[in-house]
Structure 1
Amino acid sequence: MRDALLGVHVLAGSAGLLLGPAWLLARRAGARGRRAAAGYQAAVAVAAATGALLAVAAPGLAWLLPVALLTEGLAVAGALARRRGWHGWRTLQPHLLGGSYIALVTALLVAETGDPVLWVLPVVVGQVPIALAKRRLHATAPAPGAVGRPA
């Protein structure tokens, strides 16, 4: 049972790693990227759920449960920030979605290498695309006082 759960976890995480950039590229091309977005959200949800189950089932790994929950929370909040037009969503969304993707990359690197330094590297490297996304979103912001729903 554990091996099957681990297999689903790896597949979902891999799908998230592939769909995250697909969603980003679709958005940058002016498309909504709904399929990639839905796929990314589903992949992160499955990876987080299976990760949470694996964490509580394995001795000594329960500390990973909050990591799984936070990863899913970041992905969902990032998707909702723009859709619901949260105040400051242009600043929030790149951090939220970027944080969920950084968590997937970190999990992959740590699982493959076992090197704890790789807990920090994706966070540091990930700040560049997050900053670029924020700059791009703020550059396309409507003039102050303009009314309308976010694109």
Structure 2
Amino acid sequence: MRDTVLSLHVVGGTAGLLLGPAWLVARRRGRAARGLAVAYQAVVGSVALSAGFLAVTGPGLTWLIPVAVATEALAVTGALARRRGWSGWPSWQPHLLGGSYIALVTGVLIAETGNPVFWLLPALVGQVPIAVAKRQLHAVAPPTAPAPV
């Protein structure tokens, strides 16, 4: 069973890595991209669930459960920030959704290399696209304006 869940985890993570940029490109072109958004959220949720299962069933991996929970929380909160028009959402949403994507990238890099530098490098590199997204969102919508649905 663990091998099956691991396979689903890898497929889900790969899908998330592909859906994230597709969603971003669609949004930058002015499309609602609701299907991509829902798919990304579903994939991140499945990756978090499978990560939790793998952490519980693998020796010494339970410390990864908070990472899985945090990744899902970032994705869901990032989606809700805009949809619900939370105050300051143009500042928060790029960090939240970007953080969920950075967590996916970090997971792949750590799993493939085991190099501890990859716990930090994706977060540092990811600040550039997050800053660009924040700048674009602030240009389009004032920080306190509710988002269109």
- TM-score category, normalised to shorter length: over 0.9
User: Which string of whole-angstrom CA distances, capped at 9 and with x for unpartnered residues, describes residues 58-90 of structure 1?
Assistant: 110000000000000000000000000001100
State the Cα distance separating 1:143 from its structure 2 match: 9.2
Q: How does 1:71-90 map to 2 (within 5 A)?
A: 71-90=71-90
Q: How does 1:95-110 map to 2 (within 5 A)?
A: 95-110=95-110
Give yes or no for the alignment of 1:150 onto 2:108. no
Partner of 1:38: 38
Aligned in 2, Cα 1:143/1:131: closer, same or farther, shift over 3 Å?
closer
Question: How many positions carry a matched residue from both structures?
Answer: 148
Give yes or no for the alignment of 1:52 onto 2:52. yes
Question: What is the CA–CA distance in structure 2 between the aligned matches of 1:92 and 1:119, rounded to whole Å?
Answer: 22
Question: What is the CA–CA distance in structure 2 between the aligned matches of 1:126 and 1:67, rounded to whole Å?
Answer: 17
Question: What is the CA–CA distance in structure 2 between the aligned matches of 1:143 and 1:3, rounded to whole Å?
Answer: 45
- Give the aligned residue type for 1:80: L
Partner of 1:116: 116
Give yes or no for the alignment of 1:19 onto 2:19. yes
- Give the aligned residue type for 2:25: L
Quote the sequence identity (%). Answer: 64
State the Cα distance separating 1:50 from its structure 2 match: 0.2
Question: What is the CA–CA distance in structure 2 between the aligned matches of 1:118 and 1:142, rounded to whole Å?
Answer: 35
User: Which string of whole-angstrom CA distances, capped at 9 and with x for unpartnered residues, describes residues 29-81 of structure 1?
Assistant: 00011111111001000000000110011110000000000000000000000
Q: Secondary structure at the match of 1:124?
A: helix
- Give the aligned residue type for 2:147: P
User: Which string of whole-angstrom CA distances, capped at 9 and with x for unpartnered residues, describes residues 4-26 of structure 1?
Assistant: 00000000010000000000000
Large movers: runs of 4+ above 6 Å: none
Question: What is the CA–CA distance in structure 2 between the aligned matches of 1:38 and 1:80, rounded to whole Å?
Answer: 12
Aligned Cα root-mean-square deviation (Å): 1.3
